[in-house]
Amino acid sequence: MRSGNLGYPRIGKDREWKKALESYWAGKLGEQDFHTELKAIRLRNLKAQQERGIDVIPVGDFTYYDHVLDTAAMFGLVPERFHYEGGYPNLTVYYAMARGSREATACEMTKWFNTNYHYIVPELGEIEPKLTRNRPLDAFREAKSELGIEGRPVLVGLYTFLKLSKGYTPEQLAPWIDRLLPLYGQVLRELEAEGVPWVQIDEPILATTLAAEDLTHVARIYERLTKEAPGIKLQLQTYFEAVDHYEAVVSLPVHGIGLDFVHDGGRNLQAVSKHGFPEDKVLGVGLIDGRGIWKAELQSKLDLLQTIGEAVSADRILVQPSNSLLHVPVSAAQESGLEPTLREALAFAEEKLEELVLLTKAGQSGAGAIASELAVSKRSREALQQSPSRARKHVGQRIADLASQPSSRSGHADVRREAQQQRWNLPLLPTTTIGSFPQTPEIRSARLKWRKGEWSDSQYEAFIKEQIKLWIDVQSELGLDVFVHGEFERNDMVEFFGEKLDGFAFTANGWVQSYGSRCVKPPIIYGDVEFTSPMTVAETVYAQSLTEAPVKGMLTGPITILNWSFVRDDKPREEVAYQIALSLRDEVEALEAAGIGMIQVDEPAMREGLPLKREQWSHYLDWAVRAFRLSTSTVKDETQIHTHMCYCEFHDIIDSIRAMDADVISIETSRSHGELIGSFEEHTYDKGIGLGVYDIHSPRVSTVEEIGSMIDRALRVLSPEQFWINPDCGLKTRKYEETVASLRNMVLATEQAREKYAVKP
């Protein structure tokens, strides 16, 4: 029995990776120094795993932006608009694909399965792939020469890569497999020639709902790859869920299979117990939660390992996390500011490695070998469970009375629409933004001074009011129809609310990568969630006092707060969502009582919480929609409820989106080049809707013509009476100049569209 890891956080303990990327993009760090800095981070990550005694260390999981983008670059899959001239893409082309450039829009970005990590979607089209650089081989050589680590190279599996790509029809899937198979084979042959013993091939697509045809393709791929490099062993890694077709998967001609025994609902264990496991394969046992931040209950993990040991001999077991540790912070050792009971219950990446080593030791020598650690694990979890924060009587009573809580609006959508139009008298194609405006260095500096006590509350509040007034004036000058206050007092759209609700805790350095250099510090929901006092009323009311235009109240929705937090593991996620929803209802009612008549409750993470198995979607969507409606359903008919969602396969969940019963929904769609609009050719939507008309993730300023084209395409299938014009997401990460320029172009394009589509009397 040995210990292994599947991937490690890229960002470094102090986000050194993020800082290096942004310094390079800003021209403050030269290319050679940039490469040197990233190499140093990469080696520190490997050394951390080596020093903690991990037997099998992954190499090649490090990236300059995103591992799926790296795979596309490795095979020369660069869209024509980036003026690619062959070979491994240089940094200019590489980052243009990720972020866009003045000449070309970025590639689409979307969620990595049901996580909050975003990958860059490969575009295949008519490109002929070729191996431009064997990145896994480079990573293996570097780890061995620099640190003496004979690592296990990691590859995104061919089938997962194709299923996550775009630019081909279903009929072209098999030909694309044929194009890529020789290239994957070449990668493996070169690794074999180097003496690499094992390669990890990640195929998380196998944990989704697959058809028989998919399994036929997968079998063909691995029959070919094992023949391409017979001297190398392949560890086929799945994660995030159970594999449906267990017998077919474990029969694939590979040398090892990795299964998730944390997020599988017990189904992988049932399959192993029922069908056994091939005697000629290694089983990667995903035993430690690679997505959560709680210490493992080591005894139960050891019991699970022993159960698996009844079907698989110890010499064929690799103890590992359920998935790459990319999704958790680096180290809990820095969190001295947390309450001790909570702090002692945490395990980030470094601590999870230590748990893996402990469980491997117990698997080799028996539970007695880690008796003291077992006792500590039990005490730390029991202490948190007995905390008063997990026994708030008012919260418990509200949940007990859930059946009597209103979860639908009193008036029908048509009645509400008429009441809202009478109140606001908005023009055709109303313009607005999603909520946030640029968080400048000055704003971040002010917040830091306030947190450190260098500024008084009154100083900070005066500063925030200055920023609000500045951007109310900007919105007025630009001619927007519905304003926002800009969210300058908010560090993060989830953390801000967590800081004002009971039941949340916050780390000092618990950062994780969301996309590119964008790192987030998810709150920890450790206790019962309860509203204590209004959270957004003061700033919103002040903004409204500065203008006759409506100002939207801005809240983050219950499902997004849930999905973008590290959630307690002693209660069902559904119940925690209801606790959050009822707390947000109190805030919605406070805003309405203060005269705010438009309230946006954002749910950008609604779809990312979908289970990977389609048969489980209905249950999740039912309670997710109910949570949203619990938070929004007690307002008057004339109060307009907005929501915002990030890009999703709209047609998959349109019934649930409709059931949310928001008066206006905006959807991030610009990076998909308007493809989402095609959904409306098949599905109708009868409420207000805004499809993002320009990409806020890129510094590029979209032209009036480009925005106009997006509007035109939307209005082929949507009525001008229901369509709203807005950017595709918040503007927090953008600079002042590009924000104003983009919004000005958006307003100009809207004015042209109003003339074009106005209904004549």
Q: Which residues are known binding-site members for L-methionine?
A: 434-436, 487, 602
Between the alpha carbon of residue 710 and those of residues 196, 665, 702, 745, the distances in Å are 50, 17, 11, 13
List binding-site positions for 5-methyltetrahydropteroyltri-L-glutamate. 15-18, 111, 116, 518-519, 564, 608
Residue 520 DSSP SS3 = strand
d(CA 602, CA 589): 16
Short-list 202, 208, 198, CA closest to 229: 198
Query: In sequence order, what DSSP letters do the residues of 680-703 get, joined into one string?
Result: GGTS---SEEEE--S-SSSSPPPP
Could you tell me whether strands 109-111 and 118-120 are parallel, antiparallel, or unpaired per DSSP bridges?
A: antiparallel
Q: Residues annotated as binding site? A: 15-18, 111, 116, 434-436, 487, 518-519, 564, 602, 608, 644, 646, 668, 729
Residue 279 exposed, middle or buried by CB count within 10 Å (0-12, 13-18, 19+): exposed
Residues 6+ apart with CB under 8 A from 581: 558, 627, 628, 630, 631
Tokens coding 137: 């081989």
Residue with tokens 């001790």: 340
Structure token pair of residue 549: 């235009």
Residue 175, classified by CB atoms within 10 Å of its CB into exposed (0-12), middle (13-18) or buried (19+), is exposed
The 10 Å Cβ neighbour count of residue 149 is: 19
* Dihedral angle over CA of 210, 9, 557, 113, nearest 10: -10
Query: What are the DSSP E strand ranges found in 458-576?
Result: 501-505, 512-515, 518-520, 524-531, 552-556, 566-567
Angle between helices 573-593 and 617-632 (to 10 degrees): 20
Count other Cβ atoms within 10 Å, centred on residue 557.
31
Summarize the annotated binding site for Zn(2+) as residue ranges. Answer: 644, 646, 668, 729
Would you state the structure tokens that stand for residue 192, as one six-digit string?
């074999």
Q: Any idea which residue has 């050589």 for tokens?
A: 141
- 19: number of Cβ within 10 Å: 17
List 67, 118, 263, 697, catalytic entry: 697
How many angstroms separate the CA atoms of 194 and 219, rounded? 26
C-alpha–C-alpha distance, residues 394 and 398, integer Å: 6
Residue 136: closest CA among 211, 81, 210, 189: 189
**H or E element, residue 58:** strand 58-59
Strand ranges (E), 217-354 = 233-237, 256-260, 282-288, 317-321
Q: E-assigned strands of 108-239?
A: 109-111, 118-120, 152-156, 198-202, 233-237
Residues marked as binding for L-homocysteine?
A: 434-436, 487, 602
Rounded to whole angstroms, the Cα distance separating 561 from 576 reads: 10
Q: What totals of helices (H) and strands (E) does the chain contain, helices first?
A: 26, 21
Is 642 noted as a catalytic residue in this protein? no
The answer to whether 494 and 584 are in contact (CB under 8 A) is no
- Active site residues per annotation: 697
